[in-house]
Amino acid sequence: ETGVTQTPRHLVMGMTNKKSLKCEQHLGHNAMYWYKQSAKKPLELMFVYSLEERVENNSVPSRFSPECPNSSHLFLHLHTLQPEDSALYLCASSQGSGDYNEQFFGPGTRLTVL
């Protein structure tokens, strides 16, 4: 248990579906992250929220839409995904987003797009 939870743990969706991934951290952190992890590839940072400011990776397609209603919750809204979006989506949190910031990860959502 790292103090970061993610739901659902597994998700199978069609390309026309709309779904959302949820992340919650119980650590009092003020920065949260979404990562994509594909087999044998480095973790890809998708989005960062720090004190309600969003830092976005320019290469993230618009079919991924993040939402951070407060410092404890982070969502990733998915729509019209492609099969190549199938991956493990990891959420993480840290005390800050600058300087030393050990990140605590959730267990991930295994997403399969059919």
Partner 1 sequence: GQNIDQPTEMTATEGAIVQINCTYQTSGFNGLFWYQQHAGEAPTFLSYNVLDGLEEKGRFSSFLSRSKGYSYLLLKELQMKDSASYLCAVMDSNYQLIWGAGTKLIIKP
Considering only residues 4 through 33, tell me which ones interact with partner 1, judged by CB under 8 A: 4
Instruction: Determine, following the binding rule CB under 8 A, whether residue 58 of this chain makes contact with partner 1.
Output: no
Number of residues that bind partner 1 (CB under 8 A): 21
Peptide bond into 8 cis (omega under 30): yes
Q: Least Å distance between CB 40 and partner 1? A: 6
Helix (H) / strand (E) containing 58: none
Count of beta carbons in the 10 Å neighbourhood of residue 61: 11
95 binds partner 1 (CB under 8 A): no
If the CB atoms of residues 36 and 81 are measured against partner 1, the closer one turns out to be 36
| Near partner 1 by CB under 8 A: residue from 76, 97, 109, 113 | 97
Q: Which of 106, 109, 111, 113 binds partner 1 (CB under 8 A)?
A: 106
User: In a 3-state reduction of DSSP, which class is residue 83?
Assistant: helix
